[in-house]
Amino acid sequence: MADVQDSLFSDLPDLPRPTEEVDAPAPSPKKSRGATVKPVAPDAGLVALAAELPPQLRLGTSSWSYPGWAGLVWDGDYAEAVLSKNGLSALAQHPLLRTVSLDRNFYRALTASQYARYAAMVPDDFRFVVKAPSLVTDATVRDESGRGTQTNPVFLSHEIALQEFVQPALDGLGHRIGALVFQLSPIPAHLLADQPALIARIGAMLAAMPDLKPTAPDAVLAVEVRDPQLLCPAFADMLRSVGATFCMGLHAKMPPIEDQLPMLRALWPGPLVCRWNLHRRHGRFGYEDAEKLYGPFDKVLDPDPETRAALAKVIAGTTGAGQNAFVTVSNNAEGCAPLTIASLAQDIADRMCR
């Protein structure tokens, strides 16, 4: 086991003017709302790459309703609304994409029937990463601009967590649950000041959740934080005591991978849950800047080979020891999540062949 731990954590002339004015070709129309979304034709190289990856690994994207993925995931142009409604089944046929993060649940809790519709769109061995609704993970009630307006009276409520998140997910997704992630929004200073009490509250909520394994053998509860102060032994001890794990969040609000690894060491052996959300160049509050810069998310604009290499090492070590890994990537990581995932998959395969 020690060996496993060590390896895991360690310039052209002007063109002549045409004699006649030529009309520009009309843009191809987006396909209609009721259209069936078809996947891009299989890429033999990606199929071969997928075969080199460990079965315990599930790579995926954060959501999927991006028209810019035409030719990468979709067979052509589709409107965003069409992709949102019908795109999941096409995404799930991509050889490298075996999970997806249901981020919309953070903003409004999904029902069991909505989860069941998603589950029916994917293969049997596909797994979902689902974010808990902010209703239970944000200590502050916020307005549409994100500004806090008042204290959230049901922050970390185990009743709300079960009723609005865990039970509907179990009922609708069933065995296709991978990780249920409680992404805690930045904690107000007065709560962080009493860290033991805060950790105890988180633990009490998690302890009240039902055992996921009888329904979803691969499932795990995970907690992602936005406050580095919580990367401490007491937090890891609490997670272990309730059978939950830590979700690595890769963005500028948290330290780089290397500084989050002590949490994984403390919880070893166990699954890896990781969400690569944002390139660090954008800083702590750079999501909107990244969206403007990277759209339509059809190419990598900010390669981050250092993060990919570090993440590949952790993934290879985790899955090499027989543990599951659920890793989702946002377009805001490098500019195009499917292309980032392809590069990450190659890094993982190369490392596992060493």
Mean predicted lDDT score pLDDT of the chain: 91
Q: How far apart are CA 352 and CA 51, in angstroms?
A: 12
- Superfamily of chain region 34-352: Protein of unknown function UPF0759 (3.20.20.410)
Secondary structure class of 212 (helix, strand, coil): coil
CB neighbours of 96 closer than 8 A, spacing ≥ 6? 46, 49, 50, 53, 59, 338, 341, 342, 345
pLDDT at 144: 73
Could you tell me if residue 335 is left (phi over 0), alpha (psi between -120 and 50 degrees) or otherwise beta?
left
Where residue 354 falls among pLDDT bands split at 50, 70, 90?
confident
The residue type of 34 is G
What the block records as the tokens of 15 is 């063109």
At 107, give phi and psi (nearest 5°): -90, -30
pLDDT at 28: 52
Q: DSSP letter string over 118-167?
A: HHTTS-TT-EEEEEPPHHHH-SEEE-TTS-EEEE-TTTT-HHHHIIIIIH
Task: Using the structure block, give the residue that is written with the tokens 């030719």.
Answer: 71
pLDDT at 18: 40
Provide long-range contacts, Cβ within 8 A and 24+ apart, for 310-313.
310/256, 310/257, 310/258, 311/250, 311/257, 311/274, 311/276, 311/344, 311/347, 312/344, 312/347, 312/348, 312/350, 312/351, 313/8, 313/10, 313/351
CB neighbours of 225 closer than 8 A, spacing ≥ 6? 184, 187, 231, 235, 249, 254
Q: How far apart are CA 55 and CA 61, in angstroms?
A: 18
Q: DSSP letter string over 23-80?
A: PPPPPPPPBPTTPPP-BPPPPHHHHHHHHHS-TTEEEEEE----GGGBTTTBSS-B-H
Whether pLDDT at 20 is above 50: no
For the chain, the C-alpha Rg in angstroms (whole number) is 21
* Neighbour tally for 211: CB within 10 Å: 9
Q: Which of 257, 101, 260 is nearest to 181 (CA)?
A: 101
**H or E element: which one contains 308?**
helix 305-320
CB neighbours of 81 closer than 8 A, spacing ≥ 6? 33, 65
Pairing of strands 148-151, 140-142: antiparallel
Residue pLDDT, tens place only, 235-271: 999 999 999 999 999 998 999 999 999 999 999 999 9
Whether pLDDT at 344 is above 80: yes
pLDDT at 147: 75
CB contact at 8 A, 79 and 345:
no
Task: Using the structure block, give the residue that is written with the tokens 């709300």.
Answer: 160
Residue pLDDT, tens place only, 274-333: 999 998 887 666 668 888 899 999 999 999 999 999 999 999 999 999 999 999 999 999
Q: How far apart are CA 331 and CA 61, in angstroms?
A: 8
Whether pLDDT at 10 is above 70: no
Residue pLDDT, tens place only, 24-46: 444 555 555 458 999 999 999 99
Q: How far apart are CA 347 and CA 299, in angstroms?
A: 18
The residue type of 180 is L
CB contact at 8 A, 300 and 335:
yes
At 310, give phi and psi (nearest 5°): -65, -40
Domain boundaries, the chain: 34-352
Where residue 7 falls among pLDDT bands split at 50, 70, 90?
low
